[in-house]
Chain A
Amino acid sequence: MQTQYGNAAGTVSISRYFRLIIRDFGGERKEAITIMGRTLAEKVWEKHVVRHAEGEPDVLYIDLHLIHEVTSPQAFDGLRLSGRTVRRPDLTIATEDHNVPTVLGPIADVVSRTQVETLRKNTAEFGIRLHPMGDAGQGVVHIIGPQFGLTQPGMTVVCGDSHTSTHGAFGALAFGIGTSEVEHVLATQTLPAYRPKTMAIEVSGELPVGVTAKDLILAIIAQIGTGGGQGYIVEYRGEAVRKLSMEGRMTVCNMSIEAGARAGMIAPDETTFEYLRGRPHAPTGEAWDEAVEYWKSLRSDDDAEFDKVVHIDASTLTPFVTWGTNPGQGAPIGSAVPSPEDFTDPVQRSAAERALEYMGLAAGTPLRDVEVDTVFVGSCTNGRIEDLRAAAEILRGRTVVTRTLIVPGSMQVKKAAEEEGLHEVFKAAGAEWREAGCSMCLGMNPDTLQPGERSASTSNRNFEGRQGKGGRTHLVSPQVAAATAVTGRLTAPADL
């Protein structure tokens, strides 16, 4: 704690690291230069700078590289073409998720099968650990990292998948990359990158009962827009965030990219340490104590300055659903489909017009009157055990009236759910209990919507055709998804 004398007369930031503090001693001014507080993102960034040169991007070390079948084949080809190898196969892990069917059996689609087989060949050739279909460790890439304890506070984590932001829930700096960058990380275990700006999203108050992490992040994206986070690393802070479980934090960070942010982070705390303790790749013994001591330093300093601060009051939130074709087009479930006229910004107005046309919705329709054909519970956003428990709690003793897919995010989640008997609850309600995979999140495997079909989905994107060509998606929490399955219309659990 720094003791200060005299009266504050001014503060001037003179660089990213130093600040000029001017104090007033009864008319006599004194100036002092102090080291500026740093944000969590800055601390993690600086810890990973391999090389810094003025006017060039920093070369950043990557602690964990996650790989899946879709965005890696061309990267491995690139390595072979240039005669390069994988620098750190021991910091790399692969899984099969996007293409895999969620019913038992081989992949029927020849092109999908070739892609998965290509991953198997590539990982074998370069000595990378792979969790293939059917393996007990297989699952959606962003579910298995945390599950193994491979995602830890203060690490840098990348993957050729935009939802890599999920891992920021642990206080890791985690972001999605393209295939050229996948090749770059394979070859060098580093990435050249400019340091993004920092944004604090301060969530005050408590989430009301029945309002979830998913509702919170949907409300945040509706507030700041799909481009609101562009160029920033977001740090989620405040009472409501601290009270979230690790699973809820992962849901929030997962959708940072839907607000355009490069990454989302939450400072690690006891909740984080408790989640990690005893996981297969978490440190043990003295190493654990050392690690925890370091992890505790991974918080934004009190005097750290963010480039932008956004406030949101959690206590005013209600279950949130999307009505349009981007994740920013969302509203409280108790409201109605907006009219394009409601938007003063011409770009937003035309986007709303187009969205309503695609979604087949009339302005003014209460959201609770919107009927769906399919309910999907799963994905890297909401495919973890807590999500399944929440859905099961609502479906217990009830019957679904729509096609309802319950897809665990990993084989371990599946096993855990079955040990708790959740699968029996789902099956008794008439829902389909599936194998682990990305499933209906993205229209790359057999789980898709038909043209014109409408879903309530716990996934992350309501883009046109995301869940299958012509399909219409409403993003919801697992609780709203389950309640909707019971009534066939967008429904909050409290409505049942």
Chain B
Amino acid sequence: MDAFTTHTGRAVPLRRSNVDTDQIIPAVWLKQVSRTGFEKGLFSAWREDPAFVLNDPAYEGASILVSGPDFGTGSSREHAVWALQQYGFRVVISARFGDIFRNNSTKMGLLPVVLPADVVERIQAAVEADQAAEVTVDLVERQVRLGDLVADFEIDDYTRWRLMEGLDDIGLTLRHKDDIAAYESGRQPWLPTTV
């Protein structure tokens, strides 16, 4: 995955809560066997409404999505992350994320930023008032900056390091092959196999 250190871009306010992954990418798009082309499916049902915020030309090219609470709930489909990234988003800001979505994001280098609901609301209001406003999301400093607004966010050191280095989790785990083999030799003998 691409390394993430700091990113500055325009932001789209998505004033909805419980944005489940079925909305981010409806199931009909999940039939693909490749990893590309999912940007067309991003919010495809909502985008049919001309008033939907992503259809506002002023937000074209924006790279930060600022959503209401409980973003990415529901289905485990990583396609939701792929769709957001392939559409051009690098960051999603919300007061709360679905666990699996958040996990999937950090595996792919899409940064999920948790901020208190009132701060999210202030960012939404600011980018509605000035659609050209640029937001900086600084993973090094764990900070979101927009004009006078400076908001610190939390992310654990390990995930931050992995994102900043753009490291592949599998490669990291395979460094511990010996630990895995040792564990396997001590598993309870009655545990089932599928053969």
Contact = CB atoms under 8 A, between A and B. Distances in A.
Interface string B159-195: 0000000000110111010011001100111111111
Contacts of B33: 73-74, 77, 114-115, 118
Contact of B191 (A109, A152, A443): A152
B169 A180 contact: yes
B176 A59 contact: yes
Contacts of A111: 31-32
A446 B7 CA distance: 43
A112 interface: yes
Nearest to A261: B99
A162 B194 contact: no
Interface stretch (A30-38, A224-232, A311-319, A392-400): A224-232
Interface in A288-321: 288, 290-291, 294
A201 to B, nearest CB: 17
Nearest to B48: A469
A56 interface: yes
How many of chain B's residues touch chain A, expressed as a range? 35 or more
Contacts of A25: none
B194 A444 contact: no
Contacts of B169: 180, 184, 192
A345 to B, nearest CB: 10
Interface string B24-39: 0011101111110000
Interface stretch (B52-60, B70-78, B84-92, B131-139): B70-78
B173 A64 contact: no
B156 interface: yes
B100 interface: yes
A164 B27 CA distance: 18
A97 interface: no
A401 interface: no
A381 interface: no
B16 interface: yes
Interface in A36-82: 50-51, 55-57, 59, 61, 63-64, 70-71, 73-74, 77, 82
A109 B103 CA distance: 32
A260 B70 contact: yes
Interface in A85-124: 87, 89-93, 98-99, 109, 111-112, 114-115, 118
Given A56-B158, A187-B174, A464-B45, A178 B100 contact: yes
Contact of A227 (B22, B73, B188): B73
Contacts of A149: 192
B23 interface: yes
B104 interface: yes
Given A90-B195, A231-B99, A443 B78 contact: no
Contacts of A51: 176, 179
Interface of A: 50-51, 55-57, 59, 61, 63-64, 70-71, 73-74, 77, 82, 84, 87, 89-93, 98-99, 109, 111-112, 114-115, 118, 128-129, 149-150, 152, 155, 160-162, 164, 175-181, 183-184, 187-190, 192, 194, 196, 226-227, 230-231, 257-258, 260, 262, 281-283, 287-288, 290-291, 294, 325-326, 347-348, 350-351, 354, 442-444, 461, 463-466, 469
7 contacts: A160-B76, A162-B74, A175-B100, A178-B76, A188-B174, A189-B180, A461-B22
Interface of B: 15-18, 20, 22-23, 26-28, 30-35, 45, 68-70, 73-79, 81, 96-100, 103-104, 107-108, 117, 156-158, 169-170, 172-174, 176, 179-180, 183-184, 187-195
